[in-house]
Amino acid sequence: MEIKWIDGSTIQVKIEEGTTIISANKEGLLSLADQLSTLAQDTSGSHIHYDEYNSLEEGSAELIIEKQ
């Protein structure tokens, strides 16, 4: 699966009191929307792994989204 990012995307994931908060700018939200649409078309068990080393802002919590 090809993961595409719009230039200037910023996304941060944090967990506060058991709640996961995803904060993103316009480019980040559009990138996530496209990636989720791509994931929806893939096979069960496919997933996208996000962390501060490959796509999220520094200090972000790790996030994995998996298709059932």
For residue range 19-41, list pLDDT tens digits in order: 999 999 999 999 999 999 999 99
Average pLDDT, integer, range 40-66: 96
Exposed/middle/buried for residue 57 (C-beta within 10 Å: 0-12, 13-18, 19+): middle
Facing residues of 63 across strands?
50
Average pLDDT, integer, range 42-55: 95
Read off the pTM: 0.88
The yes-or-no verdict on residue 56 having pLDDT over 90 is yes
Question: How confident is the model at residue 2, as a pLDDT?
Answer: 85
3-state secondary structure the chain: CCCCCCCCCCEEEEEECCEEEEEECHHHHHHHHHHHHHHHCCCCCCEEEECCCCCCCCCCCCEEEECC
